[in-house]
Chain A
Amino acid sequence: GQSLEQPSEVTAVEGAIVQINCTYQTSGFYGLSWYQQHDGGAPTFLSYNGLDGLEETGRFSSFLSRSDSYGYLLLQELQMKDSASYFCAVRVGDYKLSFGAGTTVTVRA
């Protein structure tokens, strides 16, 4: 089976930087993804790391260390619209994802 751990909540002010950590235990690991979900909305894809290292997409970056079974999502220059839930997910097979419990990010003015 798979298990993923991420913090349940993070609160920060506009303009700040937030790092959401994700540790995982799984067999057959292919890669780590991150999804954003606003309240009442659909999850939307943010990033994928299949190899160790940092992937940068605009204000968001994601990092993976396969040897440590660890990754993180970095949100920079926080904006109010970034208030949402963020899920890490491990790819465990042909396109199949197993999701973490999610981190609720609250951005304050």
Chain B
Amino acid sequence: SAVISQKPSRDICQRGTSLTIQCQVDSQVTMMFWYRQQPGQSLTLIATANQGSEATYESGFVIDKFPISRPNLTFSTLTVSNMSPEDSSIYLCSAGQGANEQYFGPGTRLTVT
């Protein structure tokens, strides 16, 4: 298994600003992902963070709004840019060690005012 930490755990931000969320895995992993989850709702995949290349974004998510970095096999960042209240959500990082099992970080609860 993999242990995943995220920083910050929560933040309150003003609209128009940006927030960078960090995700650290305790071991090298092949795949890392970023999800968004509204409280009580399902998880929506934002993008796959690829080591050494640009992230792969899902439909409805774009790099200008959610730039992602993955400088190595244990670390990734997600930036939420030019925030609006609609970006208020829980942002989750996950890592896949094997093909069929993902481990999730505790999430970052973002409120945009």
Contacts and interface: CB of A to CB of B under 8 A. Distances in A.
Interface of A: 30-31, 33, 41-45, 48, 50, 87, 91, 94-102
Nearest to B96: A95
Interface magnitude class on chain B = 20 to 34
B31 A45 contact: no
Interface of B: 4, 30-31, 33, 41-45, 48, 92, 94, 96, 99-107
Label chain B's interface by main secondary structure: strand
Contacts of B31: 94-95
A101 B94 CA distance: 18
Contacts of B102: 33, 45, 95, 97
B103 A45 contact: yes
Given A96-B48, A97-B45, A43 B101 contact: no
A-B complex: 4 closest residue pairs judged by Cβ atoms:
A95-B96, A48-B100, A42-B104, A95-B31
